Chain A
Amino acid sequence: MQRLFGAAVPLLAALVAFACGAIMLVAVGADPVEGLRALVDQAVGSGPRIATTLVRATPLLLVGAGITIAFRASVVNIGGEGQIVAGALLSTIVAIQLPNLPGILLVPLVLIAGALGGAVWGAIPGALKAYASVNEILSTIMLNLVAVQFMNFLLRGWLIDPLEVERGTRIPQTARLSENATLPALIPGSRLHLGVLVAVLAAIGAYVLLWRTPLGFRLRAVGHSPEAAKAAGIPVKKSIVTALALSGSLSGLAGAILVFGSESVRMVTDGSAAGFTGSAGFNGIVAALFGGLHPLWTIPSSFLFGGLLTGATGLQRALQVPAALAVALNGIVVIFVVSSAKVRTRLDQLANARSEMKEVLKDA
């Protein structure tokens, strides 16, 4: 019974967090019931809306699954934003270079390019950590900044749509990318595209990798205790690079999917990372965390946050509440859920103590 309650603690924490969201709604003068209704309606109110939610959740899921891999190896990856950008850039370059390749080849190729771009951008902090003892939290943060400027540089220069130069409008965007690279729809006529499936498969893949392969075992061993892993003959440094590269590759894949899936036919920047990623690099961390840092649980968790993000636009439309509220709410959810882990252990301990006590009493 208590154990069941223990399992429900994170959900309770989320409920409390949403109660805070309701308080915020009241604070900005909106009706919380109406707000919740608008939020749910926008997120899952119709087929196309559910599709939007799933599409919105896709980058979160990929980043989140990557976070779980890094976390299991005891590496913190805050570089999701930069890795998404790196993956998007490389996949865009591939699509520009090979526009006439048939879709059956080009689609996998741009996805691989995305993963590769992200992997490289992840491997850099991995190598810096493994071989130069540079803390990965810092290097990933710094590399996010570098990636953004690099994106602006390329989209203003080498990759800019020639038409934009010709017209003098100079909007920092690529030309329309080859339609052959567009991710096919899963259900014809809907927005639900291949990327959603890829993300789910990637999360399952992350699970299989971590718990069903020797590599996964090594990564987890390093995460558990680097000293013990080293003693057991596991190449710790290489494992750290691998973990961050894998983590980055999933974020990079998200970048490719953002370019070739989500209704965009080109890559465009507003000068910031968030303008392209929608802060998926951070929100993915939230989703992974809410999923207990387990790749499979990250799947429903990402869909939940995808719904929250999509719902927030409905909230804004219905009640004119700024979308910033959803960002703040995300933060509160994180704070409550991380805090609840401890409560849960305490409850478990309490349950154990009680049963022990009962046994002692029985004996007496």
Chain B
Amino acid sequence: MSKTRTPKLWRLLAAIFALALVAAACGGTDDDPATDTTEAMEDDAETTEAMEDDDAETTEAMEDDDGEAMAGGTISMAIVAPSAKDDLAFTQSMVDSIAALDGDIDLQITDGTFVVEEAAAAIRGYAEAGVEVIVAHGTQYGGSLAEIAPDFPETTFVWGTASDTQGLDNIFAYYPAADEGGYVLGTIAAAISESGNIGIVGPVEAGDAVAYIDGFANGAKDNGATDVSIVYTGSFGDVALAAETAQAHITNGADVLSGSAQMVVGAVGVAAQNGVPWFGTQANQASLAPDLVVASQVYHWEGVLQQVLDARAAGTLGGEVFEINLGNGGLVIEFNDGYPLDPAVKTAAEATIAAVADGSQSTGV
């Protein structure tokens, strides 16, 4: 009995299977929700177009010149970065910075490549395609760069966050003095906190997250905060854990929160639900909670990048390390107008910014 039934059943199932997969695959192009996101989609389409044009142009440009591009023509740049280009954090800070540069720049982006091998392939690919300045925006790419950079002596590689150029003269390195902005934000946090209890949500205790958090804690304590609680959840990605951490801080009496890394969106959500002010870092996080983000420490790499381009134009392809800090304008405290910050506190904060910038105030980190 089953035998006679099988073929039909087969055909039917195969058809359903195919349909289901196609449906699943096409689920995303559903007309309805797409209408509301067309803006985003169009943006993407534009970049894609721009990209295609770029490819053609750069190859041409490369063929007929060697020095022209440096002498003020179009500069081709590429970013290879570990997280998404619109992550409201580390990667976005670099993308925004390049967008803010003056002059004609052909920018290509490979994002979401936290795997070193993938990034290495992308970096090499850009170098082969003749891109002049390649930003390897991830500490972990250093090993690959050391291998790739010598093969492309005409290309400038910009690598961060890192504090050495690995002895190569076509690598520039950059890193943020994240403790400086952290310190300033910490003093503001202490000023607006009524309980003197401040909670911080961190990822893994490492890198610029530690600098930011330690600076923040010192700033808060120096300005009268009695209790600064720091929790490292152990994950850069666990949004739920970050949310529960924020909740724990609030339950323990914290009335101001801050945190670093991509998973903090979970903590910002909890802060927003409980009406607790939030301080951001890396990129301007005001869009996440327009009336509760007090201020963000934003990484502005424009200065560093401009110096890189100028150096390249003058014939220096690398070999220097740049630090961004409050003093050189690489770190900027961006206040959010949506939050009603007491003008006196803001004035005091601006004084602190100046003091940290000129070195008269130590961050204690």
Q: Report A's interface with B, CB cutoff 8 A.
A: 20, 23-24, 27-30, 42, 46, 48-49, 52, 55-56, 149, 152, 155-156, 167-173, 191, 262-266, 268-272, 274-275, 278-279, 309-310, 312-314, 316-320, 322-324, 332, 335, 339, 346
Contact = CB atoms under 8 A, between A and B. Distances in A.
Interface in B108-122: 108-118, 120-122
B28 A27 contact: yes
Contacts of A271: 203-204, 206, 234-237
Closest 8 CB pairs of A and B: A264-B143, A278-B115, A172-B206, A271-B204, A263-B144, A271-B236, A263-B147, A313-B121
A73 B21 CA distance: 33
Contact of B234 (A42, A152, A191, A318): A152
Nearest to A270: B114
B37 interface: no
Nearest to B115: A278
Contact of B115 (A274, A318, A320): A274
Contacts of B114: 270, 272, 274-275
Nearest to A48: B124
Given A169-B208, A263-B116, A323-B112, A275 B235 contact: no
B210 interface: yes
A171 B122 contact: no
A238 to B, nearest CB: 36
17 contacts: A24-B25, A29-B44, A52-B117, A156-B205, A156-B206, A169-B162, A170-B210, A171-B207, A271-B234, A271-B237, A272-B235, A272-B237, A275-B115, A275-B140, A320-B109, A323-B113, A332-B21
B155 to A, nearest CB: 15
A29 B41 contact: yes
B100 interface: no
A324 B83 CA distance: 12
Contacts of A272: 114, 235-237
Given A171-B207, A264-B143, A52 B121 contact: yes
A161 B22 CA distance: 49
B354 to A, nearest CB: 22
A265 B147 CA distance: 10
A23 B26 contact: yes
Given A27-B29, A271-B235, A313-B113, A168 B365 contact: yes
A149 B233 CA distance: 11
A9 to B, nearest CB: 13
A152 B143 contact: no
Contacts of B235: 271-272
B126 A317 contact: yes
Interface string B128-167: 1000000000011011101110000000000001110000
Contact of A324 (B112, B140, B206, B236): B112
Contacts of B48: 29-30, 319-320
B175 interface: yes
B82 interface: yes
Contacts of A172: 204, 206-207
A198 B217 CA distance: 49
Contacts of A268: 116, 139-140, 142-143
Contacts of A49: 121
- Provide the main secondary structure of the chain A interface: helix
B217 to A, nearest CB: 14
A324 B17 CA distance: 23
Given A263-B147, A313-B110, A318-B51, 15 more contacts: A20-B22, A29-B44, A55-B117, A152-B206, A170-B207, A172-B206, A265-B143, A266-B142, A272-B235, A310-B117, A310-B118, A312-B118, A313-B122, A322-B112, A332-B21
Contacts of A317: 108, 110, 122, 125-126
B141 to A, nearest CB: 9
Contacts of A167: 163
B356 interface: no
B47 interface: yes
B109 A313 contact: no
B55 interface: yes
A278 B117 contact: yes
Contacts of A24: 25
B122 A262 contact: no
Contacts of B71: none
B311 interface: no
A172 B140 CA distance: 10
Given A156-B204, A169-B161, A271-B206, A52 B124 contact: yes
A322 B207 CA distance: 26
Most chain B C-beta atoms within 10 Å of own C-beta, residue among A20, A171, A173, A265: A171
Given A167-B163, A191-B147, A263-B147, A27 B207 contact: no
Contacts of A265: 143, 146
B161 to A, nearest CB: 7
A42 B109 contact: no
A82 to B, nearest CB: 15
Contacts of A313: 110, 113, 118, 121-122, 125
Contact of B120 (A168, A169, A263, A322): A263
Contacts of B16: none
Contacts of B117: 52, 55-56, 262-263, 278, 309-310
Contacts of A171: 139, 161-162, 206-207
Contacts of A314: 121, 125
